[in-house]
Chain A
């Protein structure tokens, strides 16, 4: 069991950093798995820009060790090339090691809770190269941390979160540090506040932002290689008992990035499928 947990930790992805089975597809959110809950996820993320479209997938699982501590493991893959800047808000070509801890959990009334979740992990280079400037760099591991806080209720959801990723230097190259943040508002109309044996729909407005530092190559910092982008767009989450489908898209509302270094990104989109398997285990009295 200990080996399995260590193996899972070695490839785990910070749960709130990716499309979650209970929340938005781009932004940070707080839900974690129930104790002994196994969640299986597969998602496709697209980033389309002036130099092509890049798809990435993340398929894997999450497992609730306790009601407030979840580990997850994902298999990353990247297709296409867009010569795009570093991004931590969409799936990339890296493995991660980490876990998510819901350190604040307060229920205030029926159907409503206030909670905060933190994730910490290690970023490991995946088998595939990036495209554009990032493809020229020797990749090294990094550390990634995220924090999200918010309110969930039968009618509305509100989450805010932020993250930071820092990469180590490898052969005098270093990928840019990344600061990311998000704000998500969700709404479930009265007509859709139905029984759990019917489809459960929610709509979200997702605002995300990222700032990446300069790239270091051959020991020198590359001028104008840092970027700042802000994104806004809708997403929808549909759940039937233990199956969830979510999808959304975002358009840039602000972009400060060098067009000579990176492709001009026009749109981001994502689709995520989740299967949740809950444990019926209870101790005998």
Chain B
């Protein structure tokens, strides 16, 4: 009986982790790109972003340099892939505003946000007034925040969150 209970707990745990992984991902990335002057520049970015598995729609505004990427549920796209799509076309990525689901880890004083299904892990800092995150530690949360510009080939390691809430 005890053995059966243990198996049930393990199975439930595995399902919970699987469910967590499937639900944790980038939902939207608004990436500012410098250097695009013409239609082929925007088309190149569009084609490159669409080539990333999980990307649903891409919109490029040449006059603001804003690339809006919406992703399908369950995607495994990583931030490095978005930056790489910009770099391979000879442009420069700046700040990115992201909406993502992931797990809040670390401590109340040094929280981290992990986007499961990827290797993306960001130190969290509040964008303005700090919000209490201790109650959310260990939970799956939805965050809207800004990733500052990173050097070529790199991804920012800090996410400045604007909103954070437990994922539904």
Contacts and interface: CB of A to CB of B under 8 A. Distances in A.
A244 interface: yes
A34 interface: yes
A34 B40 CA distance: 10
B150 to A, nearest CB: 15
Nearest to B39: A200
B71 interface: no
B50 A280 contact: yes
A21 B37 contact: no
Contacts of B43: 196, 241-242, 276, 278
Nearest to B92: A107
A199 B38 CA distance: 10
Nearest to B44: A278
Interface string A32-68: 1011110000000000000000000000000000011
Given A281-B51, A285-B77, A285-B80, A276 B90 contact: no
Nearest to A202: B38
Contact of B81 (A193, A202, A240, A283): A283
Contact of A107 (B34, B42, B85): B34
A182 B76 CA distance: 49
Nearest to B119: A285
Contacts of A138: none
Given A282-B51, A282-B85, A200 B38 contact: yes
B157 interface: no
B147 to A, nearest CB: 15
Given A193-B63, A196-B46, A285 B37 contact: no
Given A195-B61, A241-B39, A278-B48, A285 B78 contact: yes
A70 B44 CA distance: 16
A35 B85 CA distance: 10
B156 interface: no
Contacts of B34: 107-113
Contacts of B44: 34, 37, 276, 278
Contacts of B89: 34-35, 37, 67, 278
If over half of A's interface residues share one DSSP class (helix, strand or loop), that class is named, otherwise mixed; here it is: loop
Contacts of B119: 285
A181 B44 CA distance: 30
Contacts of B35: 107, 111-113
Interface in A234-285: 239-242, 244, 276, 278-285
B142 interface: no
Interface string B62-81: 11110000000000111011
Nearest to B90: A67
A34 B88 contact: yes
A244 B43 CA distance: 12
Interface of B: 32-44, 46-48, 50-52, 60-65, 76-78, 80-81, 84-85, 87-92, 118-119
27 contacts: A34-B90, A35-B88, A36-B88, A37-B89, A67-B89, A107-B35, A110-B32, A110-B64, A111-B62, A111-B63, A113-B34, A152-B37, A153-B37, A199-B39, A239-B39, A241-B39, A241-B40, A242-B40, A276-B40, A280-B47, A280-B50, A282-B52, A282-B84, A283-B84, A285-B77, A285-B78, A285-B81
Given A107-B92, A282-B85, 10 more contacts: A34-B44, A34-B90, A110-B32, A113-B35, A113-B37, A195-B62, A196-B42, A276-B44, A278-B48, A282-B48
